[in-house]
Amino acid sequence: MASIDSRATEPDTRKGHPSGIDGNAPGRRFEFKWAPYLFLLPTVGFLCVFSILPMFSGFWMSLHRVDVIRGTFNFIGLANYTRLFHDSQFGLSIFNTAWYTLTVVPLIVVASIAIAVCLRESRPARLLARVGFYIPFVLSPVVVATSWKWLLNEDLGVIDGFMKWAGLSTIPWLSADFPARVSVVLASVWNLVGFYMLMVLAGLSQISHDLYEAARIEGANRWRQFWHITLPLLRPTILLIVILATIHATQAFETILLLTDGGPGGATRLVVQNMYQAAFGRLEPGYGVAQAVVLMPVILCVAWLQMRLFKEEGIF
């Protein structure tokens, strides 16, 4: 028994420190366990090569005037950053990105919940409708943009054609600032809502029917059931949707590029397209990267908020 106790009090180098180094054991030989580090190496290596190194080299590039074609770098200090703060196009693209994100994300959340709740039961017609809502998500951005471009065409489009037939005045969907912004949001929501609807359906399947049964017995109508059972229990799913949709919105590029090309006059040009245009259109990669560097604190704040919300919800 005594021998067991003495073993229990003996310092264990395998447990004392995650690295396997027990610094509290004077005179003991340092034992370094390589295995955990070796297991981590591929991931850390990938992260370094594809995320951390590009981040630092991007920042370094933003301090230079880069000639991509001749491969020359000319140090210009913070000139790209000072130029950024005088660039009205960059300011407009920030505004557009904020507007786009703040409209697309709530619309996606509301629409995906509404559709999922309506199509909750597994009847054949509803299953078919689910497929119908999901199809736009698997379409290529070219198809999505081209379809919407023709639907919204002012001269020959179906929507304006219907409005003319109904005696209403037509809307310049793609050629005036506000309608173009609305069009881009509509096309994006239509494109993405099917994916998020599936997530809500998965969330709904986790809610026990007993809760609804009990609520019905207590006299709760469908609205109260939704408000007091469905919505609270969907909170983790909704949170996940908000985060994923925000990421989607800040990365939006192809559909908008093909639908409006950032037009008219830059009214729908988001930051990603602005960066792309600076780097590949005007061949100023340093200036393009400077925009990304300025945006980094904003993205970090969103990431921090995301971590906090996840923690509060106990998701991790």
Partner 1 sequence: MHRLVVCVAAGLLIAVSVSEAKTLSVLLLANASTQTQIQQLLKEYSAENSGIDFNVSIVPYSSFTAKVNTLVAGGEPPDILEVTTAYIQTYADLALDLTQYTDRSELLNRYLPSYQAFIKSGNKVIGIPIEATINGLFYNKNLFAQAGITVSADPAHIWTWMQFKETLERVMKLRSCRIGVAYDCSVQRWSNLLYQANGRWISTDGRQILPDRQAATQALTFFRGLIEAKLVPTSSWPGKTDGGPLFKTGVTAMMWAGNWELKTLVEGGTLFPFGTTFFPKDAIRAACPGGEFVMGFAKSQNHDDAAKVLLWWAKPETTKRYLESLGGSLLSPMQNLPVNYGKYTEYLKPMLDDLSATPDWVAEDLARPQLNLLQNDLLDQLILYSTGRAGLDATLSRIDQLGSQVLNRPKQ
Question: Under the rule (CB under 8 A), what is the footprint of partner 1?
Answer: 65, 67-72, 74, 89, 149, 153-157, 172, 174-175, 177, 257, 260-266, 277, 280-283
| Closer Cβ to partner 1, 64 or 130, answer by number | 64
The total number of residues shown for the chain amounts to 316
Quote the least distance from Cβ 195 to partner 1, whole Å: 25
| Closer Cβ to partner 1, 228 or 282, answer by number | 282
| Closer Cβ to partner 1, 185 or 257, answer by number | 257
| Closer Cβ to partner 1, 280 or 304, answer by number | 280
Query: What six digits make up the tokens of 199?
Result: 């997530």
Quote the least distance from Cβ 295 to partner 1, whole Å: 20
Query: What six digits make up the tokens of 306?
Result: 């995301």
Quote the least distance from Cβ 212 to partner 1, whole Å: 49
Query: What six digits make up the tokens of 198?
Result: 């599936």
97 close to 271: Cβ distance less than 8 angstroms: yes
Quote the least distance from Cβ 172 to partner 1, whole Å: 6
| Closer Cβ to partner 1, 203 or 286, answer by number | 286
Torsion angle of C-alpha atoms 143, 146, 148, 149, degrees rounded to 10: 170
The long-range contacts involving 88-93, CB below 8 angstroms and separated by at least 24 positions, are: 89/266, 89/269, 89/274, 90/271, 90/274, 90/291, 92/266, 92/267, 92/269, 93/266, 93/269, 93/270, 93/271, 93/273, 93/274
Closest CA to 268 of 81, 104, 139: 104
Quote the least distance from Cβ 185 to partner 1, whole Å: 17
| Closer Cβ to partner 1, 58 or 172, answer by number | 172
Quote the least distance from Cβ 309 to partner 1, whole Å: 36
Q: Please give the Cα distance from 194 to 241 (Å, whole number).
A: 12
CA 23-44-51 angle, 5° bins: 135
Q: Please give the Cα distance from 257 to 270 (Å, whole number).
A: 9
Quote the least distance from Cβ 252 to partner 1, whole Å: 16
Q: Please give the Cα distance from 20 to 15 (Å, whole number).
A: 7
List the beta bridge partners of residue 66.
73
| Closer Cβ to partner 1, 104 or 152, answer by number | 152
